[in-house]
Amino acid sequence: MSDPVPHPLSPEDCLVAVMIAVSASDEDIRTAELVKIESQINNLPVFASYDLDRLRVMSQTVFDLFAVEDGLDALFGLVRANLPEHLYETAYALACDVAAADGTLNDRELRLLEEMRYELNIDRLHAAAIERGARARHMTV
């Protein structure tokens, strides 16, 4: 049987995987988070040539990784191996937007974002600016 995820992953696959990982981190994938992921894929230039049908494959890949010990490390290994470094901050920004989409950030989401900052070597000041932007975009009246 062939592997449903061709290796290497595309940079877009990596960005999608990071968004799914943040949504799944608290074991409660909310509709607002799914809508945010689909909206990002449909509207951002980085996803212009992305096949939306890959979303299901990448979701299953993330779920499979989360089901095994050291799966998060494996996910970050795949991301670092297949996502160009100039898109690391983009990955973090997308993750922050998904985490903020439902109006709350829980401890698991915060821990995953912290791990992502470390694994992708996101400068703390840059991370703070990205986080502040996500917060501002998801404020309610």
Alpha helix positions (H), 1-141: 11-24, 31-43, 54-66, 71-82, 88-100, 107-119, 124-137
In this predicted structure, the answer to whether residue 3 has a pLDDT above a threshold of 70 is no
pLDDT for the residue 104: 79
Cα(72)–Cα(33) distance, integer angstroms = 20
pTM of the model: 0.90
Q: DSSP state, 87?
A: G
The pLDDT of 30-54, averaged and rounded, is: 92
All domains in the chain, ordered by first residue:
11-137 (1.10.3680)
pLDDT for the residue 2: 47
More confident residue, 67 or 29: 67
pLDDT tens track for 83-118: 999 999 999 999 999 999 888 788 888 999 999 999
pLDDT for the residue 14: 96
